[in-house]
Amino acid sequence: MAAGRERNGGRPTLEEVAARAGVGRGTASRVINGSPRVSEATREAVEAAVAELGYVPNRAARALAGNRTDAIALVVPEPETRFFAEPYFSAIVRGVGAALADTEMQLLLTLAGNDRERRRLAQYLTAHRVDGVLLVAVHADDPLPELLEQLGMPCVISGARHAAEPLASVDSDNFEGARAAVEHLVSRGRRRVATITGRLEVYGAQRRLDGYRAALATAGLPPDERLIAPADFTEEGGARAMRELLARRPDLDAVFAASDVMAAGARQVLREADRRIPADVALIGFDDSVVARHMHPPLTSVRQPIEEMGRRMAELLLEEIAGRSGERPTVVLPTELVVRDSS
């Protein structure tokens, strides 16, 4: 024991932990590395020995032995300007950080908003410098998920790319959230309800548009493509789409914007056009971000549990990395309409 301590700078060794717990070295290692292939009694014995001895795993040796880096990448395929302007991304990062707080995993944030950055990221991932990847706001035509599949790299994405998504994914219920928003507008007597969509190559934006259409159909309101304006989840895009809608249907009496940031852009245009909110035009956003709470009037918005989404993404990825996940689940979290003065 003493010789082992001397060789390790006085630190307790894995062998000492195993001896204290009365198990083999391999069994102690499985417990410390989170393997499920041990009994509860064995796990408790090893954990007690770890606590008594003050054992700290040698991360470098463990990573080399298991071909692990103890790092995961959070990849956002968007330019830096959008990442810092959109509250959605910071909430995802907080959720991921909370899930990793009690682990030894390092989180690497990577923005890949142009072709050069994507090529550099592809090279980095091909070198297996991380154990897994969290993909946020991935586009339907993005080649990165296929690259990760080819590499055998564990991956979880925020929002399926399509109905038959093969990767593990976590999302909010975009369809029901949008439907609830439009049903609320109809219940307040609005009959010419417009929508500002996100980029429709994003499946979540498609589902919000589907929810909008479903609510109008249920209310018996005829579809009118002039009341639908595509945008890009930015404030400028929301403003541009709002101008298009007013030019096409100046008699519109409500707007459902597929994000709070786009709703902020729409609000500015409505004010410039001397349209009172909500007296002339009711307005609803999506996300229930800080933007919604600080607008004037405060914005009715669909709350999605963004931090919870980030946390669940990280948990699923850790399970996949550890080999404890035999399937790739699709997790859909519920939304909630938060009614404020704008509607």
Burial of 114 (0-12, 13-18, 19+ CB in 10 A): exposed
Distance CA 44, CA 21 (A): 9
CATH of 71-171+307-332, one of 3.40.50.2300, 3.40.50.1240, 3.40.50.970, 3.40.50.1860: 3.40.50.2300
Give 324-333 pLDDT, tens digit per residue: 656 778 899 9
Q: What is the pLDDT of residue 35?
A: 65
- Lateral strand order in the sheet of 168-172: 106-111, 71-76, 132-136, 155-158, 168-172, 330-333
Give yes or no for residue 16 having a pLDDT over 80: yes
Give yes or no for residue 66 having a pLDDT over 60: no
**Domain 14-65 is of which CATH architecture?**
Orthogonal Bundle (1.10)
- Determine how β-strand 300-303 pairs with β-strand 336-338: antiparallel
Average pLDDT over residues 219-242: 96
Confidence of residue 149 (pLDDT cuts 50, 70, 90): confident
Average pLDDT over residues 226-233: 96
Q: What is the pLDDT of residue 235?
A: 95
Average pLDDT over residues 8-18: 76
Interhelix angle 25-32/40-53, nearest 10 degrees = 90
Mean predicted lDDT score pLDDT of the chain: 88
Same fold, 71-171+307-332 and 174-303: yes
- pTM for the model stands at 0.76
Give yes or no for residue 6 having a pLDDT over 50: no
Q: Hey, where are the domains in the chain?
A: 14-65, 71-171+307-332, 174-303
The residue behind tokens 């859909």 is: 332
**Token code pair at residue 27:** 């069994």
Q: Which residues contact 229 (CB under 8 A, 6 or more apart)?
A: 194, 195, 196, 197, 241, 242, 244, 245
Average pLDDT over residues 35-51: 84
Give 112-131 pLDDT, tens digit per residue: 878 888 888 888 888 888 99
Distance CA 206, CA 212 (A): 10
Bridge partners, 283 (sequence order):
255
Give 68-113 pLDDT, tens digit per residue: 778 899 998 887 887 887 788 889 999 999 999 888 888 999 888 7
Query: 174-303 falls under which CATH superfamily?
Result: Response regulator (3.40.50.2300)
